[in-house]
Structure 1
Amino acid sequence: MSADPKASDAKVISTSPLTNDDARWTKLVLTTYRDPLGKERTWESAERSTRPKNSPIDGVGIVAILQKSTGPELLLQKQFRPPINKVAIEVPAGLVDAGESPAESAVRELKEETGYVGVAAEISPVMFNDPGFCNTNLNMVHVTVDMSKPENQNLKPELEENEFIEVFSTPLKDLYAECKRLEDEGYAIDARVGTLAEGIELARRWKL
């Protein structure tokens, strides 16, 4: 391990089966349902076991745009993800706490993971990450970051002891090309980042 730990210093050592009794964050579920023709079928899926009571979502993803002299930049981060044994390129994100609104969660998570202090400006419809596999969902929250404020000059992230997050930003206009470049370097592109990049590229190509 280097003196300055980076996300890329992590690696998977082993994998093994996990029972629901031993799982802390997730569980496997067998669902029986009836298809449109009346045939009874089953479906295997995963569920988060951490969603707060009465909360419609598990977490939030954060679209934080930094207004710089050279143009708007999207705040991104590098974080090792054991299920894929790769460092992923992600937007800041996190689970909601009990009694917390999506906006409150997004502002809190942004400060904890990156040090930036922002204001929630827009909340997306509820999005499901991979509905064929799990019930995990989130709101994407647009957060405005005022770069002129003193608290956004000397950043002080509040990472947990098991978090190793590298924060960076990239020009919005270059996001699609940057995703391709980072993939070529061996990084995994999180679907939320890739979808943002695709949207920007489609808007550019179709002059929307």
Structure 2
Amino acid sequence: VFGAEVKPHLVHETVRAEMNAHRQGTRAAKSRGLVSGGRSKPWRQKGTGRARQGTIRAPQFTGGGVVFPPSPRSFALKVNRKARRAALRSALSDHAQAGTLALVRGDAFAQPSTKKAAELLAGWGKERPTLVVASEDEESLIKSFRNLERVLVTVPAELEVAAVVWARSLVVSEAALPLVEQKAGSAAGEVGAARPDDRAPAARSGGCAQ
């Protein structure tokens, strides 16, 4: 998981989808058909010397509707599960290769201690912002890190590629590590993995094919 090939295009695609998923998409305006009133013609069709009008809710009138108004929509983008996992492996591997990934023991925080967490990060000396991934039952560890400045604490079930990319350093608890590896999955048979046809032919023994 932490030694996979970094694939920037998959990371970009997944981060874009995750960011779009947080958009509400509720902006809207009323068209001429949605504005109340204006059912009858403001004046008769001919003989007034003025331009013909069908409703006072047309866009050219004050209080009228909007031409081509924005309407509620979903910004969700579909990314295949294998691509998402490959993107997460890429982001984790990038931290591992850069030396900005560290493991922390959850039992080291028997009681919540923000001071101890701050000293741990200061002793590590890596740049912030820092992402801390802890297991849900490691309450003391979570409370110790969550109040630090420019530190984001999350659990493996809610881990997003965007958060891993955003962080300059990454801290994973030993209890959360198997869950993170499970979420990232294996590279075998997934995006970018070598298929049997792509591998070099194996040398055969003997003078004839089996």
- Normalising by structure 2, what TM-score? 0.20
Larger radius of gyration: 2
**Which structure: greater strand fraction?**
1
TM-score by length of 1: 0.20
Instruction: Kindly indicate whether structure 1 or structure 2 has the higher relative contact order, using CA contacts under 8 Å at least 6 residues apart.
Output: 2
